[in-house]
Amino acid sequence: MNQNHEKKITVTRTIEAPADAVFEVLTNPKRHREFDGSGFVRSEDQGDRITATGQVFTMNMEGDHMGGEYKTDNHVTGYVKDKLVAWQTAPAGTEPKGWEWVWELEPNGQRETQVSLTYDWSKVTDKELLQKISFPLVPEADLQESLQLLSSVV
C-alpha cells in the first residue's frame, strides 16, 4: 500500500516479525545502514539506542546532493515503544529544517507487523533550501526498498 501526497510519501508493508523485534532494529542507529534504501547512510557516528523524544543521534552520510560525505543530526520527534519512532534530520550542527521520517508499527498477530514509513517534507519552509534540494530527495522506490531491507534484517 502506498500513498504519495504533494509533500509526503507513505509506504506500507507487512513484515514477518513481531513488532518488538522490528522496533529493536529501528531504534538502534548502528543498524540504520542495513535498511537504508536510499544508499545515503554510511554509519552511525554517535548516539545511543532511541528511547525517548528529544534525543539526537548523528549519522555519517554520503550523497551527491551534499557534494559527497556529510553528517546529519537526527532529532527524535516521536517515540511510542513498539509502535512509533520518528525523527527530523538536519545537517550536523544545525536545527532541523522540516523534513521528517516516521516509522509506525501495527502488530498483525504475534508473528507479523504492518510497518508504515512516511517521508514528510511538508514543514520545510526555507525557500533557499527548497530551491537547492528537489523534494522528495528520496523517491518512493527507495522507501519501498527500505521496507524490503528491514524485512530481510529483522
Q: Cα dist. 154→16, 19, 32 in Å?
A: 8, 10, 12
Residue 57 pairs in a beta bridge with 74
Q: What is the pLDDT of residues 91-115, one digit of tens each?
A: 999 999 999 999 999 999 999 999 9
CATH number of the structural domain spanning residue 60: 3.30.530.20
Number of domains forming the structure of the chain:
1
Determine if the pTM surpasses 0.85: yes
Beta-carbon-side half-sphere exposure of residue 53 (alpha carbons within 13 Å): 8
- Biggest alpha carbon–alpha carbon distance for the chain: 47
| All cell numbers assigned to 76 | 527524535
Q: What amino acid is encoded at 81 in this protein?
A: K
Q: What is the pLDDT of residues 4-40, one digit of tens each?
A: 558 999 999 999 999 999 999 999 999 999 999 999 9
Q: What amino acid is encoded at 124 in this protein?
A: V
Residues of the domain holding 72: 2-153
| All cell numbers assigned to 136 | 522528495
Quick check: 11 and 147 in contact, CB under 8 A?
yes
Residue 42 burial by CB count (10 A; 0-12/13-18/19+): exposed, middle or buried?
middle
| All cell numbers assigned to 131 | 530551491
